[in-house]
């Protein structure tokens, strides 16, 4: 057997450099790294030697660079991924939140945090977390509940089994999610005679399980028996590349479609059968049909509570759930009729099984009335009042082309975007709302731009989320990946403030002006963004925002636009109830009133039948 002597770190980098996707591209595009004593000597030396064969990018925050890696994978529809490495201790723990984000959203990312010494000679090493009852525990054990596959590399030869297992998880659409390989720092530097064959290039194709015959027949029978079916398109449609199949199936059989946050842009917004967003942040057209539907056909969705209105949206007493998903865990939720398989393959075979069957197409005025409501909400205001989020969204939408990509994550903006953004092309809508992670936006925008360098990327972020994590704006400048960032300053966590008030409470600790302070907050976001190398300006109106968008698109470097917005106004059209528990006992009459309404809404919940 031919062998080559390499350190474990060199072997890891060489292995991932030779793993390809079905398109002939390197599956692992490269590595994000912040070095510390736990990874600089081992992995640092290996990555330096790899050079452009396996590029390394320097981040400014471990969570931020992990968000960039995850956004890249999402924008690539999981056909590519990135590696992220940190030292042990705080550097590693900074990435746990990002691992949770990837796990919830079923997205591939490889975490390689440094770990304690396998030989335990210097214990306790700098930054080591000691467990008084278990000598095998390290800080990296925190990754276990938020990893799809976890391994601790404590001997060089363990890579021979661990790395293929990692790739299997990262590329298998049913098991896809974050992988954590906790890499003991002394082992990174240890050498081993690895088989040369281990580093031979390998292609990992996209597995496309076809549906079970009996499940397919049951699904087709349910659709044929339904009077008012409705498709809910989730992220799995995009990850499968099933946009054309979804459109063909919906048009042939007359079944209307609505979209989750992850599934938005699966169909062109203007298609008559696309009723828009569904659920808590849903369009009136989609939610009206959803309330009456007797068959809810979920495709590639995990039926999050925002999609189902906390299971209070689907009010037809005869309704059934048909769940089409590549993951059995998701397909079998809530006593659904399950159809396990790849969305593209399932839709193709399901359409054949349905023959010439057609459902009753909903009243077309539902769609036209909703678009009219969208246009009204996003139109430029007539007066000088602070603009709403919706009006800012309208100005941004008018300032970009159909191929542009909007990026967002937490707060009120995702709800407004879900309702109001008109997606012009697949993957043109990139909103992380599975984990709703504040601080994802700018780093995520960078990752999206790395995935689609030829498309305009516009990050929309509130001031609260911007303050949480903004450091990768300078990374976008440093790497030459231009993004446009629109910062909406409503002076606080306005979305949660509105939720707080809606449950009968007083505004408390959410807006900057109602939080405890000795000195009023006065943050100059324009100066801050400029200090990181972006071109930055503040605008005073929607008209000025539209003019600034022209300058932003002409810019060669990242551009930040700041605008003050109204913290209290949100789009009233559309939407449905969301389960947020209200206290049973309170001295405040407003809370008691909100509790009564809450109990009334609970009566509509039907989590399973």
The answer to whether 260 touches 232, Cβ cutoff 8 Å, is: yes
Residues 166, 167, 170, 175, Cα dihedral to 10°: -70
CA distance 421 to 406: 9
Provide mean pLDDT across the span 120-136. 92
**442: pLDDT confidence band, cut at 50, 70 and 90?**
very high
Identify the pLDDT of residue 606. 81
Superfamily of the domain at 3-204: Thiamin diphosphate (ThDP)-binding fold, Pyr/PP domains (3.40.50.970)
Same fold, 213-364 and 379-564: yes
What's the fold here for domain 379-564? Rossmann fold (3.40.50)
213-364 — its CATH code?
Answer: 3.40.50.1220
pLDDT in tens, 420-435: 999 989 999 999 999 9
Identify the pLDDT of residue 608. 64
Question: How remote is the C-alpha of 103 from its chain's centroid?
Answer: 10
For residue 598, give both structure tokens: 């809450």
CB count within 10 Å of CB 9 equals 28
Q: Looking at the whole model, is its pTM more than 0.85?
A: yes
Secondary structure E strands in 169-277: 178-184, 191-195, 202-204, 229-233, 257-259, 274-277
pLDDT in tens, 490-510: 999 999 999 999 999 999 999
Q: Domain ranges in the chain?
A: 3-204, 213-364, 379-564
> 424 or 399: whose pLDDT is higher?
399
Average of per-residue pLDDT values in the chain:
96
């Amino acid at each position: 057997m031919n062998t080559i002597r390499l350190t474990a770190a060199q072997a890891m980098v060489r292995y991932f450099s030779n793993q390809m996707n079905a398109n002939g591209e390197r599956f692992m595009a490269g590595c994000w790294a912040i070095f510390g004593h736990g990874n600089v000597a081992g992995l640092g030396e290996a990555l330096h030697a790899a050079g452009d064969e396996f590029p390394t990018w320097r981040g400014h925050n471990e969570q931020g660079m992990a968000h960039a890696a995850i956004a890249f994978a999402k924008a690539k529809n999981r056909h590519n991924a990135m590696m992220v490495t940190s030292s042990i201790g705080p550097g590693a723990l900074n990435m746990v939140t990002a691992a949770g984000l990837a796990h919830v959203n079923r997205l591939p990312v490889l975490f390689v945090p440094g770990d304690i010494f396998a030989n335990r000679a210097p214990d306790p090493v700098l930054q080591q977390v000691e467990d008084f009852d278990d000598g095998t525990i390290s800080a990296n054990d925190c990754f276990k509940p938020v990893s799809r596959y976890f391994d601790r590399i404590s001997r060089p030869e363990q890579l021979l089994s661990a790395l293929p297992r990692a790739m299997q998880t990262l590329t298998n659409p049913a098991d896809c999610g974050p992988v954590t390989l906790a890499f003991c720092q002394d082992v990174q530097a240890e050498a081993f005679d690895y088989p040369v064959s281990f580093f031979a290039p390998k292609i990992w194709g996209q597995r496309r399980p076809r549906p079970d015959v009996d499940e397919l027949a049951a699904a087709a029978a349910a659709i044929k028996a339904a009077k008012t079916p409705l498709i809910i398109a989730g992220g799995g449609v995009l990850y499968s590349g099933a946009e054309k199949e979804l459109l063909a199936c919906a048009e042939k059989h007359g079944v209307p479609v609505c979209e989750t946050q992850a599934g938005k842009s699966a169909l062109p917004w203007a298609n008559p059968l696309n009723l828009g967003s569904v659920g808590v942040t849903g369009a009136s057209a989609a939610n009206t049909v959803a309330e009456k539907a007797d068959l809810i056909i979920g495709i590639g969705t995990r039926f999050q509570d925002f999609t189902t209105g906390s299971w209070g949206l689907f009010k037809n007493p005869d309704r059934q759930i048909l769940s089409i998903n590549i993951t059995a865990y998701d397909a079998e939720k809530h006593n659904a009729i399950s159809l396990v398989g790849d969305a593209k393959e399932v839709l193709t075979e399901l359409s054949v099984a349905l023959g010439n069957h057609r459902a009753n197409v909903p009243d077309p005025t539902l769609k036209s009335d909703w678009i009219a409501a969208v246009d009204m909400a996003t139109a430029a205001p007539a007066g000088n009042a602070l603009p709403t989020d919706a009006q800012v969204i309208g100005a941004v939408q008018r300032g970009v082309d159909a191929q542009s990509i909007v990026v967002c994550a937490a707060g009120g903006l995702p709800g407004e975007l879900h309702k109001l953004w008109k997606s012009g092309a697949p993957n043109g809508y990139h909103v992380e709302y599975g984990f709703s992670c504040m601080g994802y936006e700018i780093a995520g925008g960078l990752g999206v731009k790395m995935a689609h360098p030829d498309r305009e990327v516009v990050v929309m972020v509130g001031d609260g989320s911007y303050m949480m994590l903004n450091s990768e704006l300078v990374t976008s400048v440093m790497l030459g990946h231009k993004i446009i960032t629109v910062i909406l300053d409503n002076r606080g966590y306005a979305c949660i403030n509105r939720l707080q008030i809606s449950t009968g409470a007083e505004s408390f600790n959410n807006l900057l002006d109602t939080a405890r302070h000795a000195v009023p907050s006065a943050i100059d976001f324009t100066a801050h963004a400029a200090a990181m190398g972006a071109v930055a300006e503040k605008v005073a109106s929607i008209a000025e925002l539209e003019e600034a968008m022209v300058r932003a698109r002409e810019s060669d470097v990242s551009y930040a636009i700041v605008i003050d917005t109204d913290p209290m106004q949100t789009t009233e059209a559309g939407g449905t109830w969301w389960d947020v528990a209200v206290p049973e006992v309170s001295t405040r009459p407003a809370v008691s009133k909100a509790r009564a309404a809450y109990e009334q809404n609970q009566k509509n919940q039907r989590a399973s039948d």
